[in-house]
Structure 1
């Protein structure tokens, strides 16, 4: 009789789930444990991660105000405002705190006789129940209890309990808020978490003062997407929240699935790459001492995210305002680069393939050859460029003016339709139209300003630098250390 041998399947001690906070914490556990994925973490790895989390929390809890270590306490307070490590009446004895915190992560009892419930996050058997004092974003002091009667808390298995407290290592943190990333490509999640684990170590050692000026989580997320270099469409979502006892809030922003493709096109083509660097430079703000106060790469990355409430800033809108003539107008090369960037974004991110040339030519012909000065007609066009009704009225007048002057008319009503109808993407069509009109005027050398755009040697040097790279770069090694 043949003997069939079977290999027992050992369940993972940590599993990344669809919950944004648990998922970020699970990846943080994996990075701290030097594992490729959360499912590879062993029980021994989990013990070592617990030791790190507890020691860091104890050090922060007993630190003096104003010290670097105390900055990590602010992070913990933003997540677990009523915990043993952050409560105003917490013990200042390290040994007492260590014992109390270690007990939070005690292994669950095993065996058929052990009780338990399904874990709130992953469904594994859980031997402990947790409440809002140890779980981030589970109620506030304004809601005393949302649990059913006689239910002491939410069941949480050991792996998810550790993940809940490894969360700040894998998140982008400030003194009062936390940002986590969820992405359809797991490699992006790991890359984002690995960067934040390194940053967490810096905060513990040097405090928030060591963070470069203007740093934002959006840049870290975009660089994680870019590092993956994957052709597979993958949207990234950032969840930013404040969880303390004052005024909790949550904000969600997300990218389109085609972000990786867009970044690859920008990276691989000289003109849109130059346009992106010009965008970054235009967004960089320096103080009187010359130091960066607002980081251009960070602010440019922020424009790639869209807010769920529709209040986020638009990359196309920003480029539209950037491209309008002004006293220090762009030279022809830079205007072409910024225009190409706008078209690349529309094509790759928004899926647009606008047919602009007939209407753009009509408007440019009218500005160049109509009655009066071109500068006045350009100013008139600028006033109506983004309004469907008034733009239609201007196109109508321009067509009649050119016909009466005996000049060819480049476009008719059917060409106007995408710009004057109230339909999806009409707004973006009008912004792209304005960019092309101004580009045509510059190519024709139509004078609308006394200023001539130029680029100095310093600007040329900066434009040639890589995109999405802060001036002072990153610190730390590839992976987090325990």
Structure 2
């Protein structure tokens, strides 16, 4: 028991994401960088500070009153706890303070159960349930536990970490949303910033006017955290959204995998990628949702859709004016790096597609009419005959003057396999469309023709754009 008492204020990181976020929140409250830097005094001071925040609510009648922040949050976090009992309205402020202090105090060692902590396996100080563990089973319903068990056994540092979890989260819309990662170096500053915001919100006056909700605000917050981080990200980034209230028990976990998280970070750290980010964002937007919000959502749910939407956006620009937009060049470093680093395309395959696109750009660029380019897009569409188009164009490639250094074969066997006989053939063909647009822009190609011809290529681009967007 002496050893257990010596460890009752030592915070350890465990395999539970909520406990990990809470442990870093405790560190932030104590103004240290990592939970393992928490001394006995710092840990106890951080727990006492959290308790003081709850004690402020003892003099508050309603959550909407000044000082009622944690009372309002408690209904979502700790329903039926000592801070918000059913009889709260009949209690005096002193009674409320007494109950809150009792709730958050370290249990007497003599009353500790003979059980290890479910998180870290050190001696537990008490049985805990839903009141203290988000989405934990109520101690009133023990049909799933062994005889003599009254919930989940936890040590004091681990339950204190769970109490601290809300500080490391955003508490809006009746739910707690936290950013978690197994990369501790990333989790530390993200949680520290969340704690700073939560403390500020707790001090701010209650806002009675209903703010206009932002689409995918929680996903967007993760995007902003990833892009503002100044080191390499070594693990995926999770968005944890939960409610522990009696009205709604919810847990939703989304993961932005490490490759796309690191790639998004590179759009701020690498100059060759920063310039194209604005266009990438614009490409993701819809009439009602901002580009960054949609980019954030797709980074979680459908990374491949980011490139599909980008190509659709560029083709939409073509359909609007019949000209390939100059933004293609700025997007090139983003597009190729995304295909390699996020979509796991082979770097050699991407290089082959770029070389093929250079040949197609040289071929199409010799004709100022917009029709041949429109024919390429129609052939590349889902209902088109791209192989038949290549057969025809291979003859033209032999007949027309080729730029110096380019081979006689338009579509070598290796390139044919990439486009028609590879498990990723469809993705390769989508990338080829982008690469051909880049080659035409680099060549300074400007289509010239009648209004009908320009309208025809615009229609082809619009049709292709619709396919990419859906």
TM-score range, shorter chain: 0.7 to 0.9
Unaligned runs of at least 5 residues, structure 2: 401-407, 448-452, 456-470
Look up the match of 1:176: 174
Look up the match of 2:27: 30
How many angstroms does 1:19 deviate by? 0.3
Of structures 1 and 2, the one scoring higher in RCO (CA 8 A, sep 6+) is 1
Q: Is residue 2:338 matched to residue 1:342?
A: no
1:202–1:154 CA distance, 2 compared to 1 (3 A): same
Match of 1:56 among 53, 56, 61: 53
Please give the alpha-carbon distance, in whole angstroms, between the structure 1 residues aligned to 2:191 and 2:412. Answer: 53
Look up the match of 1:106: 105
RMSD over aligned Cα atoms: 4.0
| Contact 2:128/2:152 (8 A) holds in 1 | yes
Please give the alpha-carbon distance, in whole angstroms, between the structure 2 residues aligned to 1:334 and 1:158. Answer: 57
1:102–1:417 CA distance, 2 compared to 1 (3 A): farther
Q: Is residue 2:235 matched to residue 1:234?
A: yes
1:60–1:220 CA distance, 2 compared to 1 (3 A): farther
Please give the alpha-carbon distance, in whole angstroms, between the structure 1 residues aligned to 2:409 and 2:303. Answer: 39
TM-score where L is the length of structure 1: 0.74
CA deviation map 1:41-95 (0-9, x unaligned):
2343333333332343354584535557556545433333343334555446433
Please state whether the residue corresponding to 1:83 is helix, strand or coil. coil
CA deviation map 1:446-467 (0-9, x unaligned):
42858xxxxxxxxxxxxxxxxx
Please give the alpha-carbon distance, in whole angstroms, between the structure 1 residues aligned to 2:140 and 2:109. Answer: 37
CA deviation map 1:388-442 (0-9, x unaligned):
xx56x3133332344268356521343132333462x545433322211222233
| Contact 2:166/2:176 (8 A) holds in 1 | yes
Unaligned runs of at least 5 residues, structure 1: 1-8, 287-292, 385-389, 451-482
Q: Which has the higher helix share?
A: 2
CA deviation map 1:268-325 (0-9, x unaligned):
4434211112333555789xxxxxx8555454344433x4xxx677322332322223
1:265–1:192 CA distance, 2 compared to 1 (3 A): closer
Please give the alpha-carbon distance, in whole angstroms, between the structure 2 residues aligned to 1:398 and 1:143. Answer: 69
Decide which moves more: 211-220 or 235-244.
211-220
| Contact 1:78/1:176 (8 A) holds in 2 | yes
Please give the alpha-carbon distance, in whole angstroms, between the structure 1 residues aligned to 2:139 and 2:103. Answer: 21
Q: Is residue 2:309 matched to residue 1:318?
A: yes
Higher alpha-carbon Rg: 2
Please give the alpha-carbon distance, in whole angstroms, between the structure 2 residues aligned to 1:318 and 1:328. Answer: 16
Match of 2:136 among 135, 138, 159: 138
Please state whether the residue corresponding to 2:162 is helix, strand or coil. helix
Please give the alpha-carbon distance, in whole angstroms, between the structure 2 residues aligned to 1:279 and 1:115. Answer: 57
1:10–1:247 CA distance, 2 compared to 1 (3 A): closer
Please state whether the residue corresponding to 1:135 is helix, strand or coil. coil
| Contact 1:54/1:98 (8 A) holds in 2 | no
Please give the alpha-carbon distance, in whole angstroms, between the structure 2 residues aligned to 1:262 and 1:398. Answer: 34
Look up the match of 1:460: none
Please give the alpha-carbon distance, in whole angstroms, between the structure 1 residues aligned to 2:83 and 2:285. Answer: 39
| Contact 1:58/1:94 (8 A) holds in 2 | no
Decide which moves more: 115-124 or 438-447.
438-447
